Structure 1
């Protein structure tokens, strides 16, 4: 994985400071707060495409940030930050990776906005504020491989008829899909309603991971091939080995997303 370092070589303070600098940059619409933390050959990717212009991309748009949460991966030396700007309107997911010198080598953003799948930033903000993403006590944390396997199994359901059996379904569980909240109030209070029944669809490919055992979470960016090759972010949180939260963002290149 790009930017992987031995856990002992990854500096959580550097990760946290870079994530804060990224949020400041997004708030200002300027790279100034990030400049000292960027590697000389750093890359910026937005919705699965490399952005080379210094004046384009959502990172150059000043946004009022109403919600921010950052998760830390000390194995991959990376962070995942979820941002909501109701006035933007944008909901952003950003994976930031660091090199051996602690510098940022890549900023990878899924930027959802008007016309994105089930998009409504105001509703998304309302729902995320209802959730509790407290750190999981050390004795109750799931292993890194277990967390990733849960996310992979979920994303495999579109192309595999057996993947749903491998998802560690939990109760309660809620899915925030764009701005649609599934699970809360359903008969079994789970994330199962609406899972795919057609397992012969194109797979979800080019997956990139940020895994935080303390939060029980994995952020997975991918190409959602069966939905117009959309840029997609799925984040999963496990509690006690069971799925508790699913957050998704799906952007179809400025076009209205269609199945």
Structure 2
């Protein structure tokens, strides 16, 4: 039987072959935008958070491209009709930075009982550094296991300190760990390829699991999790994956993984079912 490391390398190779055959490059080898820098990414992420706090798209004008796009819950829509137009009091914000793809991922928690949300947004930049796409999963009442107050309680207890550069995992390893987890629903060997950490905790909607292996699928013949989009931050040991959660009403889904010393330490998930109550 392959070791966890061997299984992970095998799965990474399979993913690479699949992506190459599909014409989809690995996120870890995506092109670097000419003007990509952490300062550029941070300014855009800050502008996004300010815009969401104010419910105003005007605050994005200094960072967006002329023809920028907005996607919410896996559907391209007019940003003027999006959650971005809602003035929301943000209780928690955390951002990771991908300097290879020139992209960020920001997690927001809003506990206001009138407008509760947990939002995950990937922001992608063009070659000139300007934002070309905001890609959000906006979970709220009716989303899978949704409870913004519980989410805030759990994530506030976590430690997401930067990892010393000498201890960084490779981008390929971080992505492969996330991909292995996301493939458990349709691949019987995927679970053995996940580099499970001890401890490892999961915040799934508003539910907390003290072990990341708790509740993992035993039925591996389900629909896959497709259309995966990645943001990878080696300094945080993190990958965010947005996808279509096909086996649950083709839901819009976000999974973020934090690895420490090569092992999965934290998992955050949010799943939104097109305005309907999520059900398996």
- Name the TM tier (shorter chain): over 0.9
Mark the runs of 5 or more structure 2 residues left unpaired by the alignment.
1-24
Alignment of 1:87-236 (within 5 A): 87=112, 88-183=115-210, 190-236=211-257
Q: Which structure: greater helix fraction?
A: 2
Alignment of 1:6 with 2:27, yes or no, is no
Distance 1:251 1:6 in 2: 31
SS of aligned partner of 1:41: strand
Question: Would you say the 8 A contact 1:143–1:213 is kept in 2?
Answer: yes
Q: Which string of whole-angstrom CA distances, capped at 9 and with x for unpartnered residues, describes residues 117-163 of structure 1?
A: 00000110111100000000111110000000000000000000000
2:108 to 83, 86, 92: 83
Cα distance in structure 1, aligned partners of 2:88 and 2:106: 15
Report the Cα offset of residue 33 of structure 1: 1.2
2:10 maps to which residue? Answer: none
Secondary structure (helix, strand or coil) at the match of 1:207 reads strand
Moved over 2 A (4+): 4-9
CA–CA separation in structure 2 for the residues paired with 1:206 and 1:79: 18
Is residue 62 from structure 1 mapped to residue 97 from structure 2 by the alignment? no
Could you tell me which runs of 5 or more consecutive residues in structure 1 were left unpaired when the two chains were aligned. 184-189
Deviation readout 1:103-129 (Å, 9 max, x if unpaired): 000000000000000000011011110
Q: 1:27 aligns with which of 53, 59, 62?
A: 53
With normalisation by structure 2, the TM-score equals 0.88
Q: Distance in 1 between matches of 2:224 and 2:143?
A: 20
Q: 2-side partners of 1:83 and 1:5: how far apart?
A: 27
What is the CA–CA distance in structure 2 between the aligned matches of 1:163 and 1:7, rounded to whole Å? 33
Q: Quick one: distance in 1 between partners of 2:35 and 2:185?
A: 37
Inter-partner Cα distance in structure 2 for 1:68 and 1:61: 17
Instruction: Note if contact 1:58-1:111 (Cα within 8 Å) is conserved in structure 2.
Output: yes
Instruction: Please tell me whether the aligned partners of residues 5 and 100 of structure 1 are also in contact (alpha carbons under 8 angstroms).
Output: no
Deviation at 1:9, TM superposition (A): 4.4
Give the CA RMSD over aligned residues. Answer: 1.2
CA contact (8 A) 2:118 2:139 kept: yes
Distance, in Å, in 2 between the alignment partners of 1:11 and 1:55 is 28
- Mapped contact 2:34–2:128 kept (Cα < 8 A): no
Question: Distance in 1 between the 2:73 and 2:166 partners?
Answer: 37
